[in-house]
Chains A and B, each alone.
Chain A
Amino acid sequence: MRRFLVLLKKELGELINLQTLLPFAVVVLMFMGLGQTLSSVNAEADASVVVAVADRDGGVLAGVVTAALEQAGLEPVAVTSTIDDSTAADILDEAGADIAVEIPEGFSAALAAGEQQHVESWARVRNFSIVGNQDIAALGTALEVVNSTVAAAIGAEAAPDVPPVMLQRPVITSEHVMVGDNTAEASASAVMGFVSQQTMFIPIVLFLVIVFAAQMIATAVATEKENKTLETLLSYPVSRTSIVTSKMVAAGLVALLAAGAYMFGMSEYMNGIESSFSGGPGSEAALQASDAVMRQLGLTFSTSDYLMLGLTLFASILTALAIAIILGAFAENVKSVGTLIMPLMVLLLIPYFLTMFLDLSVLPDAARYAVLAIPFTYPFITGPNLFLGNYGIVWWGIGYQLVWFAIFVTMAARVFSSDRILTMKLSWGRKKK
């Protein structure tokens, strides 16, 4: 046992150095920084959105339109020139706005006479990010407010007995959403959006951590070969199993540490995104409300869920480590590790992309079984299955991966106990047996 700990200490010492930790720290800091930036975008976004309004009508209802825009949180700036496609850019520049609205001549009179009217709007797209285009989202909402406010104003004239809300919003929808056995009052699309936003980073973290672990251990073996320390190591009075497991435990520990740190970085990032979407105290309440809905629907991870996710990830890391240590045995130097690890990357990328874009149940049977045969499919489907209460498949996934782990770790110990660890190279020409 003491010998194993001595080996483990040495392996950890090899893994934990500036070279390995730096890129990893950079990623975590990057996500945290990104989160920070996003939440400060929020502060900027609170500054009111300027809209250029060309009122060519000047009537009462045109006034209602402008008031409605203001009510919707925009800051109308009156412009006098006519807006068309050729002048829009100059007018926007002059008003310091990215959106503009033009109310046509005779707007109020025509509406009073019962004719539908056009209001034209221009929106300048500066970039394609979600957060960067809040002006445009604001315009969309404002135009809806304009419609209902104008409808109410017209209705107040035409049918003074009907309360204005009846004209603005005669049908109130209240949506119910069901997940498994749970039901809650919420919009299904909002729930879907919330869940995908909350769980988006889980597969990324899984992917990064598994690749990180595999790379670490393959590099550790390749380094022993490149620095000519392997032959000596193999002559020490320690079992080959201890050599293999000490490398695996060290890489596994560092990978789990990485998983924790990535999770932390990612959640900072998600918090940043959330607070940039929600402005002010009102949306804080909305967020809490949606949290309550998620709990009601069973769409939050309980401690035992986290534990099962952790177990699944642990099983995946072990399997990846066992495969990678064998792949690393083929390496002649550290440079070749990247290429050697490719088969493992493919095994990871297939389920990663498939589960990102579609539900496995839509695949034809043969393809689905093929995907489910890949041990690394399970970490990616564990999150959704925990949400849906499919614990059976989660346990199955953990067990299935452990079976593969047992197979590969036995193979790894064989490779390290045989000549192959020294003579194995990727030259199929000179095959020995």
Chain B
Amino acid sequence: MTPAGQPVLQVLALTKRYGDLEAVAGIDFEVAAGEIFALIGPNGAGKTTTLRMVATILKPTSGEILANGCDAVADPDRMRQQISYLPEEAGAYKNLKAIDYLRFVADIFFEDRERAARAVAVGREVSGLGDRLDDKLGSYSKGMTRKLLLARTVMTEPALAILDEPTSGLDVINAIELRERIKQMARDGMSVLLSSHNMLEIEYLSDRVAMIAAGRIHATGTPAELKERYSAENLEQVFAQVARDGKEVVR
């Protein structure tokens, strides 16, 4: 069920070495417009490394990353215009008020004041933090910070949102709300590349899933296709099987 048209993101033969360790060992995938694409796999599989390369934070050892026809490695500045990235471990400037943080990011993304103001309005709404937005970020709980950062990531309505374990640390209600929101924004055209350890979340959110282990993609498909291929009842069983395969590959 690959959607038609030019993909928003194309990753080709991507590798990344840290010294002797090949963290990403040649992976290929595509994310179509409005598609939510998830990377799942065991700890240390190379998910964060992949997302960081797509987010232009790390330089690939080899391979290509193309977004809307622009080369992320050769022209990272243009790539950054199209993406918005939520790192796995992220913080915020503690002595800023939450609302001022949203304003700061909006001003960074948009030269136009009105466009920036619109982004702040979206961020304000998505965060659901209400009056607490006037508080300093130093006084925020972990979950509140995560919520704000997630709102910050999607508020610029990027062509591609890169979310590394987006809802980790959030309570069930908040997580559900935010997933709903992400899904809706994808329907409006935003592509999403995410990684998660929450199989429920993956099943609910993703249009397609890539199972990654030891730096390689072992299977790609819709959650339904994967369950069928591995004759599993849910994604967790698929995950467990792929993780075992991955170990065999390493050996």
Contacts and interface: CB of A to CB of B under 8 A. Distances in A.
Contact of B85 (A7, A232, A430, A433): A232
B44 interface: no
Interface string A388-431: 00000000000000000000000000000011001100000011
Interface stretch (A10-18, A183-191, A297-305): A10-18
B93 A14 contact: yes
A6 B57 contact: no
A231 B77 contact: no
Interface string B103-114: 011011101000
A256 B224 CA distance: 63
A239 B59 contact: no
A2 B106 CA distance: 12
Contacts of A419: 57-59
A231 B90 contact: yes
A23 interface: no
Interface in B187-211: none
A238 B56 CA distance: 12
Contact of B104 (A6, A423, A432, A433): A6
Contacts of B56: 234-235
A104 to B, nearest CB: 75
B83 interface: yes
A2 B57 contact: no
A14 B95 contact: yes
Contacts of B59: 418-419
Contacts of A231: 52, 57, 85, 87, 89-90
Given A14-B95, A227-B91, A231-B90, A432 B19 contact: yes
Given A418-B59, A430-B19, A227 B94 contact: yes
A431 B93 CA distance: 31
B95 A232 contact: no
B71 to A, nearest CB: 16
Contact of B90 (A3, A6, A232, A433): A232
A236 interface: yes
B93 A10 contact: yes
A237 interface: yes
A430 B20 CA distance: 10
Given A10-B93, A14-B93, A235 B19 contact: no
A234 B57 CA distance: 6
Interface in B57-87: 57-59, 77, 80-81, 83-87
B175 interface: no
A227 B93 contact: yes
A431 B20 CA distance: 10
Given A236-B105, A239-B77, A432 B93 contact: no
Interface residues of A, number: 27
Contacts of B108: 3, 6-7, 236-238
A13 B96 contact: yes
A199 interface: no
Interface residues of B, number: 31
Nearest to B137: A227
A368 interface: no
Contact of B109 (A232, A237, A422): A237
B92 interface: yes
B107 A2 contact: yes
Nearest to B80: A237
Interface in A191-214: none
A385 interface: no
Interface in A305-350: none
Contacts of A3: 107-108, 111
B18 A423 contact: yes
B155 interface: no
Contacts of A237: 77, 80-81, 108-109
Given A13-B95, A14-B95, A236 B111 contact: no
B55 interface: yes
Given A14-B95, A235-B83, A228 B19 contact: no
A82 interface: no
A229 B108 CA distance: 15
A432 B18 contact: yes
Contacts of B90: 228-229, 231-232
A17 B108 CA distance: 22
Contacts of A229: 90-93
Nearest to B61: A419
Nearest to A226: B91
28 contacts: A2-B107, A2-B111, A3-B107, A6-B108, A10-B93, A14-B95, A227-B92, A227-B93, A227-B94, A228-B87, A228-B90, A228-B91, A229-B90, A229-B92, A231-B85, A231-B87, A232-B86, A234-B56, A235-B56, A236-B108, A237-B77, A237-B108, A238-B80, A419-B57, A422-B52, A423-B18, A432-B18, A432-B19
Interface of A: 2-3, 6-7, 10, 13-14, 17, 227-229, 231-232, 234-239, 418-419, 422-423, 430-433
Given A6-B107, A229-B93, 13 more contacts: A2-B111, A7-B108, A14-B93, A231-B89, A232-B85, A232-B86, A235-B85, A236-B80, A418-B59, A422-B58, A431-B19, A432-B18, A433-B19
Interface of B: 18-19, 52, 55-59, 77, 80-81, 83-87, 89-96, 104-105, 107-109, 111, 149
